[in-house]
Amino acid sequence: MFEQHTVIYGIGVSPGTASAEAVKVLPAPGVDADEPASTDPAADSERIRAAMAAVTASLKQQAETAGPKARPILEATAQLASDRALAKAADKKLTAGAGVTRAVHEAVEDYATILSNLGGYMAERVTDLYDVRDRTICELRGLPKPGVPTIDEPSVLLAEDLAPADTVGLDPQLVVGIITAAGGPTSHTAILAAQLGIPAVVRAEGVMDVPEGTLVALDGGAGEVIVRPSDEEVDEMRRRTERRQAALAESTGPGRTADGYPVSLLANIGTAEDGAAATARDVEGTGLFRTEFLFLDHANAPTLEEQTETYSRVLEAFGTRRVVVRTLDAGADKPLAFANLGEEDNPALGRRGLRLSQAREDLLDTQLDALAAAFEATDRRADLRVMAPMVATMEEARWFADKARARQLPHVGIMIEVPAAAISAKQLLDVVDFASIGTNDLSQYTMAADRMQGALSELLSPWQPAVLTMIRTACRGGDATGKPIGVCGEAGGDPLLALVLVGLGVSSLSMAPSKIPAVRAALHMHDRATCQQMAAYAVDALTAADAKAAVAALANPKLEALL
Ligand code: PEP
Ligand code: MG
């Protein structure tokens, strides 16, 4: 398969084109389920030691050529891979009858528990320990190395799907494109790729069968992947990007419709570095700072000082531009090691977001204290707004607002991402200052379709008339109170859908910075009355496809070149 030129269509989730050789992210191997119990622990112990030695050697070798960021991590991991106590712990498991891969797995698990309990720096090493486990098991099973490989040359990353933690250290200079077989438009692979400005296509079926090292080209806007492209195709893709960029360069400045109705165009960010990068672009501020992204790889809760420093950096970078900070939205698709309330059967319906903050009030209190301190450090000049994720009831909204206001935080808001909040938007907005619609989760919960399940992407489409009706309901609640409602889910970054959202009444759109130019240009081409007409047609449509077709029919034909 894929020995010849092949075109695959997936879902484009981060615009731009790229072509380079493929490198693969392989899943962690796990214990060999068919492995017999150890009958010769001494010989098996030798095998494990040899595997650990091979892992150590390969990590050291990688460290020698790695860049300054990766080198210390690889060296520290190499040290763990040569840890005698770990080998001895595995021996004990062998004597107790475990096979080689199970022995390694169980020994590492025991070790990880000890490190976690020690806390601090030691607990931070658990991720490296799991890396050693996976590499050693691969060595024992004769499988290629798992995880994101160390990349030295510009490459296109191929993966089944990427976990949020996998994407933390990706360097956009080296990872020039991402293609996944699974995932959907609101999965975190998609969000992070767009955040980093890396062209990406998800749901490209069969892409993991493309051999490592094969030349691949992708168009993250159109969702097109070409395996073994011709030189002409690579050139054509490049020209496509150039044409699009030239068209986009024509519109600059604040977001507004053709007749001047203002719609703030804001950037979604996940780190202080994202924030600094966003301020260099033509954006009016940040409409969603996903603070949980700061801590995806932390074993311990971040301290007050650590958080104050980060938030201060972001506020300083944005000056007097708007900064909407969302308090920790941990749980479900974004698990945090230090905010784990234990296994749940349905994590997306469980104690996540604000519910988790209610169970771990200490985490929220520290975060709000840090935000208040960072705000004071700007002499209260920053345009800081804080909002809570996953709010469902008025009591929750009030509970959060009371806490934020007790710290003199100036603007307090909520996210509307649960249908209950959309339906009760008026009551909720009565106790806060603003709301932001999270269309990713609002689609998931309206349609009862797991956003991590790429196979359900049609149900998850924010073009679904039921989702649009839910958004309209929320906007009507906003109108009734006169308080502003924005959108910060992925829907806001779709130029056509952005017009519908404006027609429904939202006054700001927040998205990955790379998506802002096309949305700005789309707004400039249409007046508000057309947006309202588009919204009315879309909400009344019978299907998602009809909704999109009805809106496209009303759109300026020049918009096509921007998509
Ligand atoms: C959303 O749900 O639309 C949202 C913006 O939040 P997240 O994607 O981080 O869950
Ligand atoms: Mg959400």
Distance CA(224)–CA(242), nearest Å, equals: 17
Q: Are residues 327 and 341 in the same domain?
A: yes
Bin 181: left if φ > 0, else alpha if -120 < ψ < 50, else beta: alpha
| CATH number of the domain enclosing 198 | 3.50.30.10
Distance CA(323)–CA(508), nearest Å, equals: 13
pLDDT digits (tens, 9 = 90+) for 192-220: 888 888 999 999 999 999 999 999 999 99
Q: Are residues 222 and 316 in the same domain?
A: no
Determine the length of the chain. Answer: 563
Q: Are residues 429 and 322 in the same domain?
A: yes
Q: Are residues 160 and 176 in the same domain?
A: yes
Q: Are residues 111 and 175 in the same domain?
A: no
Distance CA(330)–CA(496), nearest Å, equals: 31
Strand partners, 356: none
Report the predicted TM-score, pTM, of the whole model to 2 decimal places.
Answer: 0.82
Query: Which of 126, 141, 156 is a domain's end point?
Result: 141
Greatest CA span in the chain, whole angstroms?
80
Determine the distance separating the centroid of ligand 1 and the alpha carbon of 379, expressed in angstroms: 30
Asked if pLDDT for residue 68 goes beyond 70, the answer is no
**Residues annotated as part of the active site:** 188, 488
Region 442-463 average pLDDT? 91
Q: Are residues 126 and 157 in the same domain?
A: no
Residue 178 binned pLDDT confidence (cut-offs 50, 70, 90): very high
Are 563 and 495 spatial neighbours (Cβ–Cβ below 8 Å)? yes
Distance CA(415)–CA(42), nearest Å, equals: 58
Q: What is the pLDDT of residue 216?
A: 97
Closest CA to 485 of 417, 393, 390: 417
Query: Which of 108, 141, 174 is a domain's end point?
Result: 141
Asked if pLDDT for residue 63 goes beyond 90, the answer is no
Give the three-class secondary structure for 345: coil
Q: What is the radius of gyration, based on Cα positions, of the chain?
A: 25
Distance CA(99)–CA(173), nearest Å, equals: 42
With a 6 Å cutoff on the Cβ, whether 439 touches ligand 1 is yes
Q: Which domain holds residue 195?
A: 6-24+147-233
Buried/exposed code over 449-479 (b: 16+ C-beta within 10 A; e: otherwise) = bbbbebebbebbbbbbbebbbbbbbbbebbe
For 146-206, the DSSP string reads: PBSPP--S-EEEEES---HHHHTT--TTTEEEEEESS--TTSHHHHHHHHHT--EEE--TT
Q: Is residue 494 part of a domain?
A: yes
Determine the distance separating the centroid of ligand 1 and the alpha carbon of 442, expressed in angstroms: 8
Among 271, 488, 511, the mutation site with the greatest number of ligand 1 atoms within 8 A of its Cβ is 488
Q: What is the pLDDT of residue 534?
A: 98
Asked if pLDDT for residue 254 goes beyond 90, the answer is yes
Region 480-502 average pLDDT? 96
Region 59-86 average pLDDT? 81
Query: Which of 233, 252, 281 is a domain's end point?
Result: 233
Q: Are residues 82 and 115 in the same domain?
A: yes
Q: Are residues 206 and 271 in the same domain?
A: no
Q: Is residue 206 part of a domain?
A: yes
Determine the distance separating the centroid of ligand 2 and the alpha carbon of 329, expressed in angstroms: 8
Q: What is the pLDDT of residue 313?
A: 97
Are 156 and 216 spatial neighbours (Cβ–Cβ below 8 Å)? yes
Q: Are residues 487 and 520 in the same domain?
A: yes
Q: Are residues 427 and 548 in the same domain?
A: yes
Buried/exposed code over 419-446 (b: 16+ C-beta within 10 A; e: otherwise) = bebbebbbebbebbbbbbbbbbbbbbbb
Closest-lying ligand 1 atom to the alpha carbon of residue 288:
5
Closest CA to 458 of 471, 447, 442: 447
Q: Is residue 32 part of a domain?
A: no
Among 192, 416, 440, the mutation site with the greatest number of ligand 1 atoms within 8 A of its Cβ is 440
Closest CA to 240 of 254, 221, 257, 226: 221
Are 499 and 530 spatial neighbours (Cβ–Cβ below 8 Å)? yes
Q: Are residues 61 and 11 in the same domain?
A: no
Residue 388 binned pLDDT confidence (cut-offs 50, 70, 90): very high
Bin 283: left if φ > 0, else alpha if -120 < ψ < 50, else beta: beta
Q: Are residues 152 and 125 in the same domain?
A: no
pLDDT digits (tens, 9 = 90+) for 8-38: 999 999 999 999 999 999 888 889 888 988 8
Determine the distance separating the centroid of ligand 2 and the alpha carbon of 127, expressed in angstroms: 25
Among 167, 187, 417, the mutation site with the greatest number of ligand 1 atoms within 8 A of its Cβ is 417
From first CA to last CA, the distance across the chain in angstroms is 31
Residue nearest (by alpha carbon) to ligand 1 atom 6: 438
With a 6 Å cutoff on the Cβ, whether 181 touches ligand 1 is no
Distance CA(546)–CA(535), nearest Å, equals: 12
Which residue reads 């019978």 in tokens? 542
Split into its structural domains, the chain has a count of 3
pLDDT higher at 46 or 171: 46
As given in the structure block, the two tokens for residue 108 are: 């590492």
Bin 120: left if φ > 0, else alpha if -120 < ψ < 50, else beta: left
Residue nearest (by alpha carbon) to ligand 1 atom 1: 438
